């Protein structure tokens, strides 16, 4: 690399390629709409740089030297690669193209949300892959997004990180759920729970899901100087509904998440007497993929999936 000039003009490589292809200075000048003496000057500079005549007189005009012929292919490659660098991004063609999409989400989302996203990707971009990543307490999702190891993070925040791009997917009312045939559920209507009851009942709560994230339930209660009776903490949120069927525990989370389990398990949903703010779910992404056509397509697909879920 030390033998290269300080400033190598890509236009000079284009002239080199055309001279070796056309084998005629006049034709190259016409193609580039430049005066012939300018192309002749460029040929002299190219001869200086390569240490080779490049074009010599033959029986029927100019012909490339052996070294000149060897430069034709690499010159074309340089021009093609340079064009790729500055070419306008084309729209993503999901049916034809193959991509790998990395999505991170906690398991307290609606049980149908991620399966529906996967189904939509499989239907609309069958050659693509989807990798679902867990959102654990040790997940540095900010770094993973900036490093390109994640494309989208889906979760709920009271205040999402400001330096990331985001779009709101949906809001979910906070409610609570317990075994339908436990003593409290049998004697209490769905809208009859009192604040005192709520705080005194035995609760199961998810473990910390993300770094610095204590959850909207605990954060809100702390601001109201309220304290609920958490007797079980679980890192496996998806298993909690099944814990409820074998105990007197109460789970507080989004009503959308609960509906599936109320239909399929012997559970009963209650309106929470504490006025929690709704859980706001967002998708977050980094500037590095903000303009990429395939990632725009993915984010639109996720937003459409969320909208379809709420309309059911």
The residues near 78 (Cβ < 8 Å, ≥ 6 apart) are 10, 13
Query: What Å distances lie between residue 233 and 194, 206, 229, 236, CA to CA?
Result: 23, 6, 11, 9
**pLDDT value at position 189?**
96
**pLDDT value at position 221?**
93
**pLDDT value at position 209?**
53
Question: What is the Cα–Cα distance from 256 to 109, expressed in whole angstroms?
Answer: 8
Higher-scoring residue by pLDDT: 188, 238: 188
Task: Count the alpha carbons within 13 Å of 116 in the hemisphere toward its beta carbon.
Answer: 16
**pLDDT value at position 210?**
47
**pLDDT value at position 271?**
97
State the average pLDDT over residues 107-117: 85
Closest CA to 42 of 82, 77, 66, 31: 31
**pLDDT value at position 211?**
45
State the average pLDDT over residues 121-127: 96
pLDDT tier, 124 (very low <50, low <70, confident <90, very high otherwise): very high
pTM of the model: 0.68
For residue 24, the cross-strand partners are none
Q: What one-character DSSP code corresponds to residue 139?
A: -
Phi and psi for 170 in degrees, rounded to 5? -170, 165
State the average pLDDT over residues 252-270: 93
Q: Lowest mean pLDDT: which of 81-85, 112-116, 150-154, 186-190?
A: 81-85
**pLDDT value at position 31?**
87
State the average pLDDT over residues 187-205: 96
**pLDDT value at position 161?**
76
Task: Count the alpha carbons within 13 Å of 7 in the hemisphere toward its beta carbon.
Answer: 2
């Amino acid at each position: 690399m030390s033998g290269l000039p300080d400033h190598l003009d890509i236009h000079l490589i284009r002239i080199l390629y055309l001279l070796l292809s056309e084998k005629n200075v006049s034709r190259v000048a016409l193609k580039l709409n430049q005066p012939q003496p300018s192309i002749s000057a460029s040929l002299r500079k190219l001869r200086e740089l390569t240490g080779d005549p490049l074009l010599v007189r033959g029986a029927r005009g100019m012909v490339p030297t052996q070294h000149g012929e060897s430069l034709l292919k690499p010159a074309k490659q340089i021009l093609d690669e340079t064009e790729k660098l500055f070419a306008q991004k084309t729209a993503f063609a999901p049916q034809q193209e193959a991509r790998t999409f990395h999505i991170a989400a906690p398991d307290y989302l609606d049980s149908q949300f991620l399966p529906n996203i996967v189904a939509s990707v499989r239907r609309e971009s069958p050659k693509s892959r989807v990798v679902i990543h867990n959102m654990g307490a040790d997940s540095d999702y900010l770094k993973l997004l900036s490093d390109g190891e994640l494309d989208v993070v889906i979760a709920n925040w009271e205040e999402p990180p400001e330096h990331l791009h985001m779009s709101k997917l949906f809001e979910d009312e906070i409610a609570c759920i317990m075994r339908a045939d436990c003593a409290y559920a049998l004697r209490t209507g769905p809208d009859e729970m009192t604040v005192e009851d709520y705080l005194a009942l035995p609760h199961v709560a998810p473990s910390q899901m993300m770094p610095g994230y204590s959850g909207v339930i605990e954060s809100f209660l702390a601001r109201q100087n309220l304290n609920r009776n958490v007797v079980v903490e679980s890192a496996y949120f998806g298993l909690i509904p099944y814990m409820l069927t074998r105990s007197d525990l109460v789970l507080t989370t989004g009503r959308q998440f609960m509906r599936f389990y109320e239909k399929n398990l012997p559970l009963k949903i209650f309106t929470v007497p504490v006025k929690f703010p709704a859980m706001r779910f967002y998708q977050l992404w980094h500037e590095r993929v903000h303009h990429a056509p395939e990632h725009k397509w993915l984010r639109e697909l996720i937003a459409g999936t969320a909208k379809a879920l709420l309309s059911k």
